[in-house]
Each structure stands twice: as C-alpha cells, then as structure tokens.
A and B are shown apart, each in its own frame.
Chain A
Amino acid sequence: DAGITQSPRYKITETGRQVTLMCHQTWSHSYMFWYRQDLGHGLRLIYYSAAADITDKGEVPDGYVVSRSKTENFPLTLESATRSQTSVYFCASSISGKQETQYFGPGTRLLVL
C-alpha cells in the first residue's frame, strides 16, 4: 500500500540544469496535481492533470513542464532551473477533481544554486 510517492526527496542542482521530479500513485486516481510551497505563499498550484494525456496550467506554470503518459505517473520537469525555483514541491492526487480529498505525497525539497 504505497499510496503516493515522490522522488527524489532531496535535490541540489545548479542554475540552468534540467531537473525532473517524479510522482507515482498506486490508487488509480484520475486527478494529479503539482504544488510548490514557499514561506509566506502557502501552496501554489503549478500544473494539474485530469487523466492520462490531459494536463492544464495552475497558478504558477512558467518554467515548468509536465507530462502524463500513464495514469499513475506525473513527472514535473524544470527545463532550466533558476534560483527562484528553490522550494518544496508536493504532488497530490484525488479520485476526481471536484469536491474530493487530495492526498499529498511526502514532498521534494529542491535547492537551486
């Protein structure tokens, strides 16, 4: 019963490098979400996905790319990392998008030097 997992849990990278954060859920939930959490801003939605091959932008999508070829995976890619992307990234999933509980992964702490 793995639930929702994220990898890596911690990542240090340099400005300009490409970084991919992985998210995997075992519940076959339709919806998946990526958030970033910074002090003073709470949780901000980056991208979300309603199903495989269906993705849409959230509040702060610039500088990020997502894909969802399989229901259970929702990777988040920083194409050219910037220092402003230093943050804690949470992946979440829910059975459906509306009025349903979101279950969060443990988070990935990313530091961009």
Chain B
Amino acid sequence: QQPVQSPQAVILREGEDAVINCSSSKALYSVHWYRQKHGEAPVFLMILLKGGEQKGHEKISASFNEKKQQSSLYLTASQLSYSGTYFCGADSSYKLIFGSGTRLLVRP
C-alpha cells in the first residue's frame, strides 16, 4: 500500500532538470510532497488536490493524474539547495502513507 517512487536516486548538475514520480494503488484525495535534508526533519513542499488545485512551493511544480493515481514532481533549473530526499505522501483517508523516497544530489 506504500506508494512507489521512481527513480530511487538521481544525480544532477546544477541547472539541470529532474522529474520524480509517485504512484499509488489506492484512490487518493491528494498527494503531498516533502523534502528532507540529511539529519533534518521533512519539510513541506506541495499538496496536489483532486480537481487540479495546488498548494505550496513557488519554484517547484507538480502534477496529479487522478485517474492513474500518479503524481510527478518537476524540479527545473536545479540548485544546490535542492539536494535531499524527496518523499511523496499518498492521502487516501485522514493520514499520509509515504513512499520510500528519492535521493537527489545536485552537483556544481
């Protein structure tokens, strides 16, 4: 029941783009995205709601395909500060079930 994230890890050069995917087997109310830096707590990035509404980060975009229960996070013109582990959270009731994460490393 844990959503599946892909890729598991990605390495970028500063300025390159990346896409992180999240797929759930259950019907979702919304999809949440968080970023966690090493040794720190996860930090909220974005919520994608059914119907297309988004709430969150200005410089990071995402999509939510309700029919396929899939979400993608788009990181464009990546910066060094984007490095970390990205988690999607599948919201199918009053709780989140998180994927196992995608480790992103941005190099100069």
Contacts of B40 in A (CB 8 A): 106
For chain B residues 44-59, which have a beta carbon within 8 Å of chain A?
A: 44, 47, 49, 55
A97 to B30, CA, bound (A): 12
Q: Count how many chain B residues have C-beta atoms less than 8 Å from C-beta atoms of the other chain.
A: 26
Q: A42-B87, A98-B91, A101-B47 are in contact. Are A107 and B41 (CB under 8 A)?
A: yes
- Shortest Cβ gap from B31 to chain A (Å): 10
**In the complex, are the beta carbons of B41 and A90 less than 8 A apart?**
yes
Indicate which residue in A40, A42, A103 contacts B98 across the interface (CB closer than 8 Å): A42
- Shortest Cβ gap from A9 to chain B (Å): 11
- Shortest Cβ gap from B98 to chain A (Å): 4
Say whether B61 faces chain A, with CB atoms less than 8 Å apart. Answer: no
- Shortest Cβ gap from A5 to chain B (Å): 11
Q: A99-B29, A99-B47, A101-B47 are in contact. Are A33 and B95 (CB under 8 A)?
A: yes
A91 to B97, CA, bound (A): 14
Contacts of B99 in A (CB 8 A): 42
Taken residue by residue from 29 to 49, chain A's Cβ proximity to chain B (1 for < 8 Å, 0 otherwise) reads as 001010100001111110010
**In the complex, are the beta carbons of B95 and A43 less than 8 A apart?**
no
Q: A42-B87, A43-B87 are in contact. Are A102 and B96 (CB under 8 A)?
A: yes
A105 to B42, CA, bound (A): 9
Which residues of chain B have a CB within 8 Å of any CB of chain A? 1-2, 29-30, 32, 34, 40-44, 47, 49, 55, 87, 89, 91, 93-101
- Known A-B contacts: A45-B96, A106-B41. Give 15 more (CB < 8 A): A31-B94, A42-B98, A42-B100, A42-B101, A45-B95, A50-B94, A58-B95, A59-B2, A99-B29, A99-B30, A99-B47, A100-B47, A101-B32, A103-B44, A104-B43
Q: Shortest 5 CB-CB distances between A and B: which pairs?
A: A97-B94, A104-B41, A42-B100, A43-B98, A101-B44
